[in-house]
Amino acid sequence: MRMLANFKLIALSVTIGLGLVAQSTSAKAAGTETLLVAGGCFWCVESDFESVKGVQDVVSGFAGGSVKNPTYKQVVAGGTGHYETAQIQYDPAVVSADQLLAMFFRSVDPTDAGGQFCDRGDSYRTAIFADGPVEKAAAQKAKADAQAALGKTVVTPILGKAAFYPADDYHQNYYKSSERLAFSSVGLGVKKSEAYKRYRTRCGRDQRVKQLWGDAAPFTH
């Protein structure tokens, strides 16, 4: 009887152990991962990638510079070294880093070293901030694939891990905000969401991306 009881205890322990391993694996698979990319105007990158299934959130901010907690005015004025950057938070069980990187290259003009579309200057350049060797290898492969697809030199650098500083609340979810602007370059008293649409059209983002990538462009309207 004692041997039977011991056997049952061992079997129960093994079952519990396997259950904990399964729970741990499930929790890891269900965890959120992040990807830092610079694609010109961060409002646009946020708008594009929040439409992707498996992306849980996109935060607009800055990375790659030498100043801690920079303001928007500091960055766009130049001299801090920061890029307008989007932190993409995603579920790797639904969408992979490889897929996101491929979409990223096809949502920008990676042949432009001076900015993106109508936005010129260092803060609007494209870049990928790779967190570790695995992500770096994936980014390099995505870049090589993009270059082969375009038949043109892709200048988007693959940079190392960088501190990310979220922009102030004014810039978060700009593309879908119903807040009205007292003044903007695209009109008076318009909602942020409408101002964003007008800006994106006037800046020529979708037109240029469509010209470069054709049907492979994932976000053009």
d(CA 169, CA 52): 22
Digit-coded pLDDT (tens) for 154-164 = 999 999 999 99
Active site residues: 41
Scored b (16 or more CB within 10 A) or e, 56-82 reads: eebbbbbbbbeeeebebebbbeeebeb
Scored b (16 or more CB within 10 A) or e, 109-127 reads: bbebeebbbebeebbbbbb
For residue 55, CA distances in Å to 4, 97, 167 come to 51, 11, 19
| Among candidate residues 13, 103, 17, 10, the one with its CA nearest the CA of residue 55 | 103
Digit-coded pLDDT (tens) for 47-106 = 999 999 999 999 999 999 999 999 999 999 998 999 999 999 999 999 999 999 999 999
Q: DSSP readout, 103-145?
A: HHHTTS-TT-SSEETTEESGGG-EEEE--SHHHHHHHHHHHHH
Instruction: Say what percent of the chain tops pLDDT 90.
Output: 80
| Among candidate residues 85, 42, 81, 90, the one with its CA nearest the CA of residue 205 | 42
- pTM for this predicted structure: 0.84
